[in-house]
Amino acid sequence: MITRAFPEVPGVEVEHRFVEARGLRFHVALAGPQDAAPLLALHGWPQHWYIWRKVLPALAEHHRVVMPDLRGLGWSDAPPSGYEKEQLADDILAVLAALGLQRVKLIGHDWGAWVGFLLALREPERIERYVALNILPPWRGDVRRLRDVLSVWRVWYQVVLASPLGPRISADPRIMERAMRGDNVHPDAFSDADIAQFTAALQEPARARASSLIYRTFLLREVPELARGRYDETPLRVPTLLLFGEHDAAIGTAQVRASHRAADTLRVEFVPDSGHFIADERPDLVAQRALDWFAGAA
């Protein structure tokens, strides 16, 4: 049983639930009026639902914001297997079913945004509109060109995390602090208390192991399928806005531009004064763009 306390979001009442789905216990944080339109918010690594703390006051004014912790992260169960991103998408669909939600708006960051793309491709009738933050879509687009393929040097950290040393690295709060602050344009993106909230979860052995499995599964099982164009022929039917902080140390803007050309329903906005953690660095912009997009005004 996890004994870590839930952090508070100033000015917002957050409800915490645990739901059973696919044989696991998932933590879900909820905020906003219960009768408002549901907005599913999916975090990435190395964070959990608390990534949304800065944008939540604005989003929760107009939506019932549903913030599950992904398998292996936050307060959700961390089993020893099942970290294929399609399985994470299955988890989210099962959580939505447990909550009685049929159709949602969606915002996601990092791996949560990748899972968001899989949901939009697989179940477009379930997703009204989608805002993705600092992630590549799962199709190849034009990234087969040499100059874009060479950008893979940026993801060396994935190899390290996927290695046997991965759990020890994820569990080290000093390394994780450097990882989260490394490409920040705004030095106040993370307070020390914020960093402590995210690193505390990863110091639990099962979650440190899960962090490594997220990347090991991706590199060994999923990348070969992506290279063969697994999703290339699946159209993106959900209107999607991708907000991308240009100083992202892991993903190059050239890769994003190449993927952008692969879908007419995808709009991309580059944000020059942000790194990878755009919801932490530019919460004002993220909240406003998301609200406009969900209202169909963008």
**Token digits of residue 246:** 């240009």
* Cα radius of gyration (the chain): 18
The pLDDT assigned to 155 comes to: 74
Q: What is the reported pLDDT for 259?
A: 74
Specify the CATH class of 14-294 in words.
alpha beta
Owner of token pair 């450097």: 178
Angle between helical axes of 173-181 and 192-202 (0-180°, round to 10): 130
Q: Sign of dihedral through CA atoms 110, 111, 116, 118?
A: positive
pLDDT value for 258: 77
Please give the chain's pLDDT, 298 residues, in tens: 567 899 999 999 999 999 999 999 999 999 999 999 999 999 999 999 999 999 999 999 999 999 999 999 999 999 999 999 999 999 999 999 999 999 999 999 999 999 999 999 999 999 999 999 999 999 876 545 445 544 555 678 899 999 999 999 999 999 999 999 999 999 999 999 999 999 999 999 999 999 999 999 999 999 999 988 899 889 999 999 999 999 999 888 888 887 766 678 999 999 999 999 999 999 999 999 999 999 985 5
> Can you give the residue ranges of every domain in the chain?
14-294
CA angle 109, 110, 113 (to 5 degrees): 55
CA distance 101 to 92: 11
Backbone dihedral angles phi then psi of residue 30, each to the nearest 5 degrees: -135, 145
pLDDT score at 150: 47
Q: For residue 69, which amino acid is it?
A: D
The CA distance from 163 to 130, in Å, is 33
CA 116 to chain centroid, in Å, comes to: 8
212 CB-near residues (< 8 Å, 6+ apart): 161, 162, 163, 166, 167, 170
Per-residue model confidence (pLDDT) at position 1: 57
